[in-house]
Structure 1
Amino acid sequence: MFKHILLPATGDASDDMVFTTALAAGLGAPTHLAFLHVRQDPIAAAVGMAGGGMDGGYGVSMLIETIERDDVVAEAAARAAFGAFCAKSDLVVGAGSQSGHGTAALTVETGAESASLIEHGRTADLVVIGRLRGMGEVELGRLQDVLCGIGRPLLIAADSCPTSLLDTVVIAWKDTAEAARAVAVAMPFITRALRVLVMTVGEEASPESAPNALSVASRDRLVATLSRHNANVQAWHVPLDDGAAADALLAAVADARATLLVMGGYGHGQLREMVFGGFTRSVLGGAAIPVLMMH
């Protein structure tokens, strides 16, 4: 079970779904939600944003004042959202005895958000984070930095959160260490799920595609193993014709009415910059449900 869950409180409108997903990840048991709001360092942020493009100190000074004002607004919004969510979710503020769904605490510090999430996340059971910041696109760089740095499972919230994450858990399976680690950290969900589907995409077992055949064989072994923990585990093969593998997976996930997707974080190279390959990027950009990842 996840007893200590870390999640950012950014002050953005997207926070509410992150909060809701983190609470759902507690699976109804008393859980401590550790909310973290990170203020920008105005001087460091201004220097980084200005670079060499501003002449003199006046422009930088004005930028620092703007960042400071934005920090005040964002912190106030984060505190308000934290208080409102705790009140409606029956969370006791503080680290004392747990009641209802559990306890919650808000930590506010100054620095780089990704670095702070990594520092606090390494000692949490689970980290829950949003994909978007405001109305922007999926923040792949932020997600990748945190996933690579925490060494813990990362649950990435979507635009909506199912009432329960346990109705249908889908495992996007490949015969890789990253996928195996993702399955290992997802066991609290897998053992309690109403249905678990182990999906392979385009992994036709043919003589000319030995690597794909290897994934199919390992998928069947995984189904056998997980069936010892949950009787409702099935293999699901997603054929791949001319379309993209990510699109095929997302379509199958929708057809299965999945409530949680489990997958490894990996790309096609050894560099850290390649952790989110094209497949992972497409899934994160298009998945309508929370995605649990491990690198």
Structure 2
Amino acid sequence: MAFKTILVQLDHEARSNARLGVALQLTRAFDAHLIGLHVDQYPITQMLALEGMDMAATQALLDEGERQAALAGQLFERAVPNAGWSKYEWRAVTGMVEQQLTAHARYADLLVLGQPDPHNHDYPRLTRDYPATLSLHVARPVLVVPYAGTFETVGQQIMVAWNGSRESTRAVTDALPLLQRASNVTITTVDDESRAVEDRIYGSDLGLYLARHGVRAEVAQLHGGPGSTGDRLLSRAAELDVDLIVMGSYGHWRMRELALGGVTRTLSRNMTIPVLFSH
């Protein structure tokens, strides 16, 4: 199994370049076809909000959307050939971002998105958690690149956040191509110590499963301590100096976690290294 089609979303933000760099890394590693996608949502959301505006204002919004799409396209069409890659295509569409990404991602093996910058108030009305929540719908792994930082490698040092859930299992399976190429893999088990001993989650069985796929992994227990589980996972990732976290998204009752937060939300908002979410 390998990633043969990788889809990266690009927009007018300056961080699109870093996101594209991560996508190119993986494209070269897997000899994949790279698709760049820009979704122009701005005119739609603004016209819905300003239903009675005149033709000149409407045209200005349309022109701005086309300008942003052109800038993203120029970045893609310049960077990919300069990186020596020939298997690629550019797509620019208009619509709601989540709907368009879901539709296009169905025909890709991996979706690369950027973490929304909370300081950018011009970005068209996306929630801060949309990359992680998108994993609920696309049926594909979603790799989210932080809005700050540089990432010379992605997938060489991997931490798997494992709690034995269906979502964690899906994430590990989806990440197998990356795990098989990694130099080091650490399985960090996340368990509720109040459970009965027979119900505890251990990483040794997952380690054996991965070994049969050619992946050598170490196992470490995430013990209780100050801070939330998500914060402790991020601290452990920093201690291990990993360049990718693999985890299942929204493993608890979905509406409760979406409303009140949880491990997925913590990592989605506070990540400092790329995270691969899968549901």
Deviation at 1:278? 2.0
Residue 203 (structure 2) pairs with residue 209 (structure 1): no
Deviation at 1:198? 0.6
Deviation at 1:84? 2.3
- Contact 1:131/1:139 (CA < 8 Å) preserved in 2? no
Deviation at 1:21? 1.3
Q: 1:242 to 1:40 in 2, by over 3 A?
A: closer
- Contact 1:169/1:261 (CA < 8 Å) preserved in 2? yes
Q: 1:275 to 1:260 in 2, by over 3 A?
A: farther
Residue type matched to 1:147 in 2?
Answer: S
The 5 A counterparts of 1:221-240 are 221-230=205-214, 232-240=216-224
Larger Rg: 1
Deviation at 1:115? 1.0
CA distance in 2, matches of 1:166, 1:136: 28
- What residue ranges of structure 1 are gaps of 5+ in the alignment? 52-56, 93-102
CA distance in 2, matches of 1:134, 1:16: 18
Q: Match of 2:212, SS?
A: coil
Q: Match of 1:28, SS?
A: helix
Q: 1:20 to 1:139 in 2, by over 3 A?
A: farther
- Contact 2:38/2:69 (CA < 8 Å) preserved in 1? yes
Residue 58 (structure 2) pairs with residue 64 (structure 1): yes
The 5 A counterparts of 1:18-57 are 18-26=19-27, 28-40=29-41, 42=43, 44-50=44-50, 57=52
Q: 1:260 to 1:215 in 2, by over 3 A?
A: farther
Residue 183 (structure 2) pairs with residue 194 (structure 1): yes
Segment of structure 1 superposing worse, 249-258 or 16-25: 16-25
- Contact 2:7/2:34 (CA < 8 Å) preserved in 1? yes
Normalization by structure 2: what TM-score? Answer: 0.87
Deviation at 1:154? 0.8
Residue 239 (structure 2) pairs with residue 255 (structure 1): yes
Deviation at 1:146? 2.4
Q: Deviations over 1:124-159 (max 9, x none)?
A: 111111112584389434324521221111111123
Q: Deviations over 1:85-131 (max 9, x none)?
A: 11331122xxxxxxxxxx11101122222211111101111111111
Deviation at 1:215? 4.6
Q: Match of 1:191, SS?
A: helix
Q: 1:187 to 1:143 in 2, by over 3 A?
A: same
Deviation at 1:62? 5.4
Residue number in structure 2 paired with 1:182: 171
Deviation at 1:161? 4.8
Segment of structure 1 superposing worse, 27-36 or 112-121: 27-36
CA distance in 2, matches of 1:2, 1:231: 17
How many residues end up aligned between the 2 structures?
273
CA RMSD of aligned residues (A): 2.6
- Contact 1:129/1:156 (CA < 8 Å) preserved in 2? yes
- Contact 1:267/1:276 (CA < 8 Å) preserved in 2? no
Residue number in structure 1 paired with 2:274: 290
Residue type matched to 1:65 in 2?
Answer: Q
2:140 to 152, 157, 165: 152
Identity across the alignment (%): 27
Residue type matched to 2:110 in 1?
Answer: L
CA distance in 2, matches of 1:147, 1:276: 18
The 5 A counterparts of 1:155-174 are 155-158=143-146, 159-174=148-163
2:82 to 88, 112, 128: 88
CA distance in 2, matches of 1:187, 1:235: 17
- What residue ranges of structure 2 are gaps of 5+ in the alignment? none
Q: Which contiguous aligned blocks of 4+ residues in structure 1 show a shift greater than 4 angstroms?
A: 60-63
CA distance in 2, matches of 1:266, 1:26: 28
CA distance in 2, matches of 1:274, 1:13: 28
Deviation at 1:294? 0.8
- Contact 2:129/2:268 (CA < 8 Å) preserved in 1? no
Q: Match of 1:10, SS?
A: coil
Q: Deviations over 1:271-294 (max 9, x none)?
A: 397399422111122221111111
- Contact 2:191/2:201 (CA < 8 Å) preserved in 1? no
CA distance in 2, matches of 1:39, 1:273: 29
